[in-house]
Amino acid sequence: MCTSFLGELLGATHNFSATNVARTVNTVDTFKAALYFTTATINASTTAYTVTGEVTNTSGTGYTAGGVTVTNGVAPASTNSSVTAGVGYWTPGGSFQWTSMTVTTAFDTVLLYNSSQGGKAVSVHTFGSQTISAGTFTLTMPSNTTTTALIRLATV
């Protein structure tokens, strides 16, 4: 989880839901997912999307700078696990996918960010380093549960 995202939540910067009483217009923000090379410095201290270290095509046009738009299918949910503890959670509604892609430099990171709010960072997720040759890269989301959702905010 990007640290800046935690503070921005308290200021209603991000809207994952169609309803947001803090705004005059109830529109869901557009979130995007961008890939980064293993050499990039993208981590919890990242505050916004950057092209520095972002994946570029070795050949072809399979990857577009800025990444792909995230499907926002299910509104954030929350539940109590006890009278003193609970969790809010959200997961994108679909996989992230890049087709006809050739990237032969290793990448291992995806940055989720809010493109409606100046590219402010939401979260960073890493996986085993990969290369793609004239192929498809698919990143499938975890199950949208209190313990596995991509975004989880829990009281302890």
Given the rule CB under 8 A, which residues bind another protein?
1, 6, 43-44, 59, 87, 100, 102, 123-128, 130-142, 147-148, 150-156
Closest CA to 3 of 127, 122, 151: 122
The residue (of 18 and 154) whose beta carbon lies closer to another protein is 154
**CA–CA dist 64, 152 (Å, integer):** 28
Report, in Å, the least distance between residue 100 CB and another protein. 7
**CA–CA dist 31, 113 (Å, integer):** 6
With beta carbons less than 8 A apart as the criterion, state whether 69 and 96 touch: no
The residue (of 15 and 109) whose beta carbon lies closer to another protein is 109
Report, in Å, the least distance between residue 8 CB and another protein. 12
The residue (of 118 and 127) whose beta carbon lies closer to another protein is 127
Report, in Å, the least distance between residue 24 CB and another protein. 27
Instruction: State phi, psi for 20 to the nearest 5 degrees.
Output: -150, 105
